Amino acid sequence: MSWTVCIDFGTAFSKAAAAPSGAWARFDTAQVRPLALRGAEAGNPFLLESAVFVDGANILFGACAVSRAAETGSKRQALRSFKTILSAPDLERALTTQATGSIDPTRTLRQRDLVVLYLAFLMSAAERAVAADPALSGAGTLAWRYASPAWRDERIAAHRVIERMFGEARLVRDRLRLSGDTVPLADARAALEAARTSDTAAGWRMDMVYEATAAAACSAIALSDRSTNVIVVDVGAGTTDIAALCGAIELPGARATLTRAGDFLDRVLLNLALVASPHLKTSEQQAGLWTAMAPHARDLKESLFDGGRAVFRNGEKVINLKLSDFERDQDFKQFAKDIEKLYLGALKALRDQARKEGRKEIFAMAVGGGAPAPFIQKLIRTSAGGGVKVSARPVVPEWTNAAMFGGNLAPVYAQLAVAIGGALAPEEMLAAYDRATA
C-alpha cells in the first residue's frame, strides 16, 4: 500500500498526517494517521512548535527554541514566521534577506538558511513519527506534500523554490544526523553549504496543495456522498482562507484569502487587555504585558469564545476580559465584516454551481484555530438562498474521538484538518497536479 504524508508548517505549530492512496474516496477512520511529531514529551503530540533559535554556538528547534527564546528576554527572538516568509510576494528577496540581529546575533545566516534548517528538523520529526506508527511500519516509499496558504497564481513558480528547499533540507538532515532539537551552529553552516551546491536536492519531489482545499477535503471525508458541495472557512494564525469543493473538484470562483486571522485576533485581545490595565503607563510596561500574555493567547481566546469571559493574572493585577467588549472593538468589527464579504461571495458561487448540478444542499465547515469563534460559527450558518439549504457541520467531527487517537486528535482537530486533508486529497486537488504545464 502506498502512503502520502502532508506537512502543514503553521505559523504557530507544524502538523503532519499520512493517508493511503485512495483514502479520500473510501474513508476509513483507521486510515487517518495524524503524526505524533512531538513524541511523548509534554504538550499535544500532534503539534510541533514552528520555531528556530540561534543560541550561542548552537541552533535550537521547536519547543526547546521557544523556551530558550523566552529565557533570553525581549532583545532576542526565535524565527517563527516561516509561512510569512514563504508566502512573500517576492519570495527570492525574502529568502536572501539576512536574518536580523535579534534572531541571529552572528549575522551569518539568511532567512533561507533558517527555513531550510527548520524543514530538516520537521521532516526528521515526521519520518520518526511514521516509523513509530504501527499502521505505517510497512509503508515503504512515501509520497510527500505540503500545504500552502496563498492562492496567487505565482505560487506555482514559488513552489519550485520551496520544493528545492525541501530537497536541501533532506540533505541537511542526513549530514547532521538530525535526531534531536539541538545542532552545533558550525555544523549547520557546513551542512547548508553542501546542500546548496548539491545537484541531488533538485531531484526531490514535493507536491503542493492549497490549505483551504485540503481543509475542504478533510471536512468532506465523512460525508456519505463524495459529490456533495462543501464550503470551508480556514481561520489559521496568519491567513483566513475560503474554499469550496464540488465533489473532488475545487471551485476557483469560491477562492478567497484574507491576510488577517488568529494573530490579528491576538492583537485585538492585547488591546482589550491594555484598555483594562490603565495602570500600565509606559511602553515598556505595556510590552511586558504582551510578553506575559502571548503564551496564553490561545487559551484566553478559547475561554472568551466558549464562556464569554477570560481572566489573566499579570503580577498582582487580575485582568478581566469580556467577549462583548471584544466584539465591539472597531478593528475586530472590520475584520469580521471583511471575512463576511469574502465568504458570502464564495457561498454565492457555490450555490450557483449547486443549482446547475440540481443539488439542494451545501455543507459548511470552519477549521483552524479560529474556527470556534462565535462570529465564524454564525457565518457558516448563513442562508445561501435560491432554494439551496446550508447545513453547518460541527467544528469537531465525531470520528476524531475514536479510541485509536488516544484523546489527542479531537482537541486539536481544527488545527490538524489541513494536514489530514492534504494527505487524503486526490491528485485532482493538488495545486501542481499538471506538472508538465505548471
In angstroms, the CA 26 to CA 49 distance is: 32
Domain match, 281 and 338 both:
no
- Distances in Å between the alpha carbon of 38 and those of 42, 133, 292? 8, 13, 24
Provide the pLDDT for residue 187: 96
Binned at pLDDT 50, 70 and 90, residue 70 comes out as: confident
In angstroms, the CA 399 to CA 203 distance is: 38
Point out the domain boundary residue: 328, 349, 384: 328
Domain count, the chain: 3
Q: Mean pLDDT throughout 78-102?
A: 86
Asked whether residue 437 is assigned to any structural domain, the reply reads no
What's the mean pLDDT when you consider all of the chain?
Answer: 87
Domain match, 303 and 181 both:
no
Q: Which are the contacts of 230, defined by CB distance < 8 A and separation ≥ 6?
A: 216, 219, 220, 223, 244, 245, 362, 363, 364, 365
Domain match, 188 and 102 both:
yes
In angstroms, the CA 92 to CA 338 distance is: 30
Task: Please check whether residue 197 is in contact with residue 4, taking contact to mean a CB–CB distance below 8 angstroms.
Answer: no
Domain match, 56 and 194 both:
yes
Give, for 339, the enclosing helix (H) or strand (E).
helix 330-356
Domain match, 274 and 413 both:
no
Provide the pLDDT for residue 115: 95
Provide the pLDDT for residue 434: 46
| Containing structural domain, residue 366 | 211-261+331-429
In angstroms, the CA 51 to CA 11 distance is: 9
Provide the pLDDT for residue 438: 40
Q: Mean pLDDT throughout 387-414?
A: 90
- What share of the chain in percent tops pLDDT 90? 46
Residue 433 has pLDDT above 60, yes or no: no
Q: Which tens digit of pLDDT belongs to each residue from 253-278?
A: 898 888 888 889 988 998 899 888 88
Residue 394 has pLDDT above 90, yes or no: no
Domain match, 49 and 178 both:
yes
Greatest CA separation for the chain:
65
Q: Mean pLDDT throughout 373-380?
A: 94
Q: Which tens digit of pLDDT belongs to each residue from 301-331?
A: 889 988 999 999 888 889 999 999 999 999 9
Residue-wise DSSP of 286-303: HHHHHHHHGGGHHHHHHH
Backbone angles phi, psi at 224, to 5 degrees: -70, -30
Q: Which are the contacts of 427, defined by CB distance < 8 A and separation ≥ 6?
A: 433
CA angle 112, 191, 157 (to 5 degrees): 35
Asked whether residue 160 is assigned to any structural domain, the reply reads yes
Domain match, 254 and 300 both:
no
Point out the domain boundary residue: 176, 209, 242: 209
Hey, what's the torsion of the CAs at 117, 122, 126, 129, to 10 degrees?
A: 110
Provide the pLDDT for residue 437: 41
Provide the pLDDT for residue 159: 87
Domain match, 409 and 321 both:
no
Residue 419 has pLDDT above 70, yes or no: yes
Task: Please check whether residue 313 is in contact with residue 217, taking contact to mean a CB–CB distance below 8 angstroms.
Answer: no
Place of cell 487587555: 273
Point out the domain boundary residue: 328, 361, 383: 328
Asked whether residue 436 is assigned to any structural domain, the reply reads no
Q: Mean pLDDT throughout 367-386?
A: 92
Domain match, 404 and 302 both:
no
Domain match, 222 and 324 both:
no
In angstroms, the CA 43 to CA 30 distance is: 23
Provide the pLDDT for residue 152: 62
pTM value is 0.85
Q: Mean pLDDT throughout 112-139?
A: 91
Domain match, 191 and 267 both:
no
In angstroms, the CA 353 to CA 167 distance is: 40
Provide the pLDDT for residue 192: 96
Asked whether residue 53 is assigned to any structural domain, the reply reads yes
Helices (H), 205-329: 211-220, 262-275, 283-293, 297-307, 323-328
Provide the pLDDT for residue 227: 64
Asked whether residue 175 is assigned to any structural domain, the reply reads yes
Provide the pLDDT for residue 436: 43
Residue 158 burial (CB count, 10 A): 20
Asked whether residue 434 is assigned to any structural domain, the reply reads no
Q: Mean pLDDT throughout 392-409?
A: 88
Asked whether residue 226 is assigned to any structural domain, the reply reads yes
Residue type, 257: T
Asked whether residue 138 is assigned to any structural domain, the reply reads yes
Which CATH number goes with the domain that contains 339?
A: 3.30.420.40
Domain match, 199 and 224 both:
no
Q: Mean pLDDT throughout 342-362?
A: 94
